[in-house]
């Protein structure tokens, strides 16, 4: 059966089980959109290509499936770059299709031409420029395989317009393989025995869990390890939800804005069991003072991560779930009761705290009330900055894929389009985007997408009129010289919501917070809730940049 390149793309997506595509049309991809018109695929029309990439990313994180995005050539493709980089840093499976000028025009500075495969080279697992329609089906099969296996990530397929119009015999490969590509890792049994023995001999172990636990669906095994061996668990921002944060063994998040007791525990432990985490600088602080007494077991699907930032004593390269299943039966139980008692004392002496008093709303209070009212089934997306860190500290998560945020790249403007994707992927879930007023203004055009798609997304803006986190650093480290961080005037967000046909509510006083939340959450459609909060509230505790994680301000 002969099909055009555009028809091959649609057919291949159907073979891959794709149900929804996020995108924005343009001249170079008109043939693709023409064939999409008659297909069974759902297309979500965003208002900016960056929003499309973040929405596909949010869809992937919420569902565990691979997100798919379409964009046209030139500016359409380059507008995807931030979203692709965001997915790459957080290991999110994504396949991006970009249009390209016709083959004969490539390299001639043609209208809306951009070398998108070159531009994205450092931020994709792989990229393809398809020059021959006969290779298109195999390329798409390979792209989905790469995106969804091993350390997951984005793959880009650039499609010259004439390739989408050319015809080829359609045959979809049942499987693909690449020489030297071992997506499951190469951990051997002797390494697992050594790690199990180290756990049994430890007295002060800590499990340090990251987003790799989410990707490998290993939350159940992680919990079994923690409860069986009585080992406390701290998570990265990307790992929130892999271990219930109400659990007595939970330490919450560690690092720059982590809990005091998590940072103390990691600094005084004798063994770290790192599961799908990469020891990034926001976690370790000063590397030469990080966990000075600890041996390190590092389980990771990506061998390049093992030993990259810290010295690893027991490298276990492979899928977290698979390795934990082999490791747990071999562990001799360590004696950890004294250690757990010590941690309990640290928890009692150094809890997360703030004071809600006076006439001004504290942002932490809003987060706590959201957490109390929405329950553990809700999916929370966040923007980036103070709102993100308060959400990480005060919104307790009990399940994976329920806290969606840009961790590695820290992309402002991520949360709203990610909420679109999460709501599309989980239509029955309550999806709430926690935002700052600065981040919200970066991609607020996606309010139109929410309305067009009839998505009941709830938006909570912590409105302080500042780029809050930058202002906090200027306050603490630059003598309150607030250079270009005040965002006055702040738009009337309630009127803005109403302009898009979305219900809007505002809280200015602490006693307004719960009624506004109750009214907003009960509303059947999309809602924007504007919380006018303390303008100069800071996120504490905080490890100053470049310091040891035991040197916390406000802890």
Give catalytic residue positions. Answer: 49, 111-112, 161, 469
Helices H / strands E in the chain, number of each: 23, 20
DSSP 197-240: HHHHH-SSEEEEE-HHHHHTT-HHHHHHHHHHHT--EEE-STTT
125-147 as b/e: b if 16+ CB within 10 A: bbbbbbeebbebbebbbbbbbbb
Q: Are 27 and 159 contacting, i.e. CB atoms less than 8 angstroms apart? A: no
Report the 3 state secondary structure along 480-539: CCCCCCECCCCCCHHHHHHHCCCEEEEECCHHHHHHHHHHHHHCCCCEEEEEEECCCCCC
Measured between alpha carbons, how far is 186 from 424 in angstroms, rounded to an integer?
36
Decide: 410 and 384 in contact? Cβ < 8 Å: yes
DSSP state of 338: H
Strands, E, within 42-152: which ranges?
A: 42-45, 67-71, 94-100, 126-129
The DSSP H or E segment spanning 475 is helix 468-477
Instruction: Give the separation between CA 178 and CA 180, rounded to whole angstroms.
Output: 6
Nearest to residue 526, comparing CAs of 464, 446, 442, 470? 446
Q: What is the largest CA-CA distance in the chain?
A: 72
Please tell me the number of Cα atoms within 13 Å of 145 on its side-chain side: 17
Number of residues assigned to the chain: 555
| Pairwise CA distance, residues 517 & 352, whole Å | 23
Query: What is the C-alpha to C-alpha distance for residues 236 and 309, in angstroms, rounded to an integer?
Result: 15
**Backbone angle region of 132, left / alpha / beta, with phi > 0 → left and psi within -120 to 50 → alpha:** beta
d(CA 296, CA 307): 10
Residue 531 near residue 462 (C-beta atoms within 8 A): yes
């Amino acid at each position: 059966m002969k099909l055009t390149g555009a028809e091959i793309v649609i057919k291949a997506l159907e073979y891959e089980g794709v149900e929804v595509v996020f995108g924005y049309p343009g001249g170079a991809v008109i043939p693709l959109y023409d064939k999409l018109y008659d297909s069974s695929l759902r297309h979500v029309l965003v208002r900016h290509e960056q929003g499309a990439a973040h929405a596909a990313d949010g869809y992937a994180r919420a569902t565990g499936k691979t997100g798919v995005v379409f964009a046209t050539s030139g500016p359409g493709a380059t507008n995807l770059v931030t979203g692709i980089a965001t997915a790459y840093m957080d290991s999110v499976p994504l396949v991006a299709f970009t249009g390209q000028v016709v083959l004969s025009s490539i390299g001639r500075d043609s209208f809306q031409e951009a070398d998108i495969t070159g531009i994205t080279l450092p931020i994709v697992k792989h990229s393809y420029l398809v020059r021959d329609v006969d290779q298109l089906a195999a390329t798409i099969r390979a792209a989905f395989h790469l995106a969804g296996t091993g350390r997951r990530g984005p793959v880009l397929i650039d499609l010259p317009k004439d390739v989408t119009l050319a015809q080829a015999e359609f045959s979809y490969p049942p499987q693909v393989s690449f020489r030297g590509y071992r997506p499951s890792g190469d951990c051997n049994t002797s390494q697992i025995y050594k790690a199990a023995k180290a756990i049994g001999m430890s007295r002060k172990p800590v499990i340090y869990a990251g987003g790799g636990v989410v990707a490998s669906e290993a939350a159940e095994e992680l919990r079994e390890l923690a409860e069986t061996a009585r080992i406390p668990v701290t998570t990265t921002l990307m790992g929130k939800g892999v271990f219930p944060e109400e659990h007595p063994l939970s330490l919450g998040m560690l690092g720059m804005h982590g809990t005091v007791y998590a940072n103390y525990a990691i600094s005084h432990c004798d063994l770290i069991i790192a599961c799908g985490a990469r020891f990034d600088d926001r976690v370790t602080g000063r590397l030469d003072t990080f966990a000075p007494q600890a041996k390190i077991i590092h389980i990771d699907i990506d061998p390049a991560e093992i030993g990259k930032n810290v010295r690893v004593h027991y490298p276990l390269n492979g899928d977290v779930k698979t390795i934990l299943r082999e490791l747990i039966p071999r562990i001799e139980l360590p004696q950890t009761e004294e250690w757990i008692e010590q941690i309990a004392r640290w928890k009692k002496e150094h809890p997360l705290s703030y004071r809600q008093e006076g006439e001004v709303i504290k942002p932490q209070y809003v987060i706590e009330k959201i957490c109390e009212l929405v329950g553990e089934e809700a999916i929370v997306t966040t923007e980036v900055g103070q709102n993100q860190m308060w959400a990480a500290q005060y919104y307790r998560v009990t399940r994976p894929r329920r806290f969606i945020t840009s961790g590695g790249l820290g992309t402002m403007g991520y949360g709203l389009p990610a909420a679109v994707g999460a709501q599309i992927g989980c239509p029955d879930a309550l999806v709430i985007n926690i935002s700052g007023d600065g981040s919200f203004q970066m991609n607020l055009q996606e309010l139109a997408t929410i309305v067009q798609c009839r998505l009941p997304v709830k938006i909570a803006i912590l409105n302080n009129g500042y780029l809050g986190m930058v202002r906090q650093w200027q306050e603490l480290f630059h003598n309150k010289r607030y250079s270009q961080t005040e965002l006055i005037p702040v738009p009337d967000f309630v009127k803005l919501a109403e302009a898009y046909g979305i219900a809007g509510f505002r809280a200015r006083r602490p006693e307004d917070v719960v009624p506004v939340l109750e009214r907003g959450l009960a509303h059947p459609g999309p809602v924007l809730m504007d919380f006018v909060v303390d303008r100069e509230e800071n996120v504490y505790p905080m490890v100053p940049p470049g310091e040891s994680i035991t040197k916390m301000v406000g802890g």
